[in-house]
Amino acid sequence: MTIALFADRAENWQRYRAPLERAFAERGLEVDLVNDTDAPETVDYIIYSPMGPVQDFAPFTNLKAVLSLWAGVERIEGNETIKVPLCRMVDEGLTGGMVEWVSGHVLRHHLGMDVHICHQDGVWRNGIVPPLARDRKVGFLGLGALGAVCARVLAGLGFDVAGWSRSAKDMEFPTFSGAAGLREILGRSEILVLLLPDTAATRNVLNNETLAVLPKGAVVINPGRGTLIDDDALLAALDSGHLGHATLDVFRQEPLPPEHPFWAHPKVTVTPHIASETRPESAARTIADNIARGEAGQPFVHVVDRKAGY
């Protein structure tokens, strides 16, 4: 019998237990799913969240893998007690949610919808006509599991899409990499979407210098990580008129403190880290698929590169 320990907050045990057991049964897996154990040496897999009770993995001497329920791993990848593969969450529900949120906000800014939504005052504002999607340049920083799918969907809607990643990638739209490539994509992006991980190499990727490369009036959309942007630099670029707007879903401190200037800034839209949620049904299938691979002696998928940090 395979033993899987669910190591997340108690309230999530109730949300995930039935979907996980159902996913195991569908794959013919005999898994004893528990949310506590007095015998850590018997545990084969840990289904993990940084908010859960397990921080020291050393007692789990026969562990095969740690399967994270989070897409981001910056709060766990540095844990030196993890000696087995660490797999991040990549699932259809999380991806679908991100595609919908990103597409919605790109279209909102492309069409200039805020002008009409925020001014229901009897004034007939029909003097501004947006360009067609094919004439709107949208840039993506980050072409991983989420960024690539979002970019493809927007390209499918006709937008002039380009992407940047730390290493070169060959995709069906223009891509850039490295420091020179970063300046190239920033210089062309009227709407910029950030979907990079939080690593030492990506923190403050948008700062005073790089924000200045964006076209005047550009919009920044960040559903990636709060650490990707220097907050003070962003506010300065908005106040100077260089940037047109920023729509932010992630922040350095969450919940965003009520006194933070983002809340009251007329050129900032705050959403409370809702761009994409891990949904129990689809996440359970991802977890079960990886356990099935492990039990069959196959390599796990979505394994974190501990050196790269994602």
The residues that are catalytic are 225, 273
Q: Tell me if the bond preceding 280 is cis, omega within 30° of 0.
A: no
52's tokens: 């859960």
Identify the CA nearest to 149 among candidates 182, 177, 171, 133.
171
Judge residue 105's burial from the number of C-beta atoms within 10 Å of its C-beta, 0-12 exposed, 13-18 middle, 19 or more buried. Answer: buried
Judge residue 121's burial from the number of C-beta atoms within 10 Å of its C-beta, 0-12 exposed, 13-18 middle, 19 or more buried. Answer: exposed
